[in-house]
Structure 1
Amino acid sequence: MGLLTFALNVTLDGCCDHREGIADDELHDHFTQLMDAAGAMLWGRVTYEMMESAWPAVARDEKAPQAMREWARKLDAKPKYVVSSSRRDFPWNNTVRLTGDLHEAVAQLKEKTPSGILVGSPTLGAALERLGLIDEYRIVLHPVLAGHGPTLFQGLASPRRLELLSTKRFASGAIAMHHRRAEAR
């Protein structure tokens, strides 16, 4: 069974608005490596639509920066799963809508994807965390104070303890952190 890894950028004050991070080559390379290691991507509809509106065009743009284009081309080829109750049509290459009970659908996806799944949607991530489905967390903390939200994992009923596995400092001052669920004490 593959691991479900939550991966996202966040500012120092907890904002997970994608426009607030430092999107340089090093960051794109980091997320490309994470995607390369995973067997599939998993998003909610809002994140899917944001990604669909930008990355297929970058994959075809020969003038796009190399790190962005590599991310976009690999993302285009990667299996993508979307959780949506309102949208049924997903024309982007290799995109499938997950249906049925969220816990059961994601558990089945983890079972059939031994190399793991990378989820990068804040709202879906919070729902998956409430269901106890996230195994690892790959958060990049940016040295930015955004002054607004949204923030990660809103609405959890109780705290979750995590174990830090590694950190990596980027030239921009961002820090990539790799956590997993801590063993129950």
Structure 2
Amino acid sequence: MGLLTFGLNVTLDGCCDHREGIADDELHDYFTQLMDAAGAMLWGRVTYELMESAWPAVARDENAPRAMREWARKLEAKPKYVVSASRRDFPWNNTFRVEGDLREAVMQLKEKTPQGVLVGSPTLSAALERLGLIDEYRLVVHPVFAGHGPTLFQGLEPSRRLELVSTHRLKSGQVAMHYRRKEG
């Protein structure tokens, strides 16, 4: 069974608004490596629509920066699963709707994806965390105070203890942190 890994950018004050981070080549390369290691992507509808509105065009843009285009092209080929109660059609290449009970559907996805699944939707990830389904966390903390939300895992109870696996400092001052769920 593959692991479910939550991966996202966050500011020092917990904001997970994608417009607040430092989106340079090194950051795109980092997330491309994470995606390469996973067998599939998992998103909620809002994140899917955000990604769908931007990345297919970047994949076809010969003038796009190298790291962005590489991410976009690999994302095109990667299986993408979307949890949505309101949308049924997903025309982006290799996109599939997650149906039925969320716990059961994600367990089946983990079972059929031995390389693991990378989830990058804040709201969906909070629901998956409440269900105890996230195995690992890959957070890139940006040296930014956003001063606003949304924030990660707001209202989550009880608190969770994580085990630090590794850290990596990026040149622009971001710190990539790898945690896993602490047993017990």
TM-score (norm. length: structure 1): 0.99
Q: What letter corresponds to residue 17 of structure 2 in structure 1? A: D
SS of alignment partner, residue 69 of structure 2: helix
Structure 2 counterpart of 1:4, one-letter code: L
How far residue 98 of structure 1 moved from its aligned partner, in angstroms, is 0.2
Question: 2:9 aligns to what?
Answer: 9
> Could you say what secondary structure the match of 1:128 adopts?
helix
Corresponding residue of 2:146: 146
Equivalence for 1:114: 114
Quote the residue 1:30 is aligned against: 30
- Counterpart Cα distance in 2 of 1:183 and 1:89: 38
2:147 corresponds to which letter in structure 1?
G
Give the SS at the match of 1:35: helix
Rounded to whole Å, the distance in 2 between the matches of 1:183 and 1:35 is 25
Q: How does 1:21-100 map to 2 (within 5 A)?
A: 21-100=21-100
1:91-128 Cα deviation digits (max 9, x unpaired): 00000000100000000000000000000000000000
1:179 maps to: 179
Runs of 5+ unmatched residues, structure 2: none
Once the two structures are superposed, residues 48-95 of structure 1 have per-residue CA deviations (whole angstroms, 9 ceiling, x without a partner) of 000000000000000000000000000000000000000001000000
| Equivalence for 1:166 | 166
**Take 1:129 and 1:97, find their aligned partners in 2: how far apart are those partners?**
20
| 2: CA distance, partners of 1:22 / 1:3 | 27
Q: TM-score, normalised by structure 2?
A: 1.00
Identity of aligned residues (%): 84
Extract unaligned runs of 5+ from structure 1. Answer: none
Residue identity opposite 1:96 in structure 2: F
CA root-mean-square deviation: 0.4
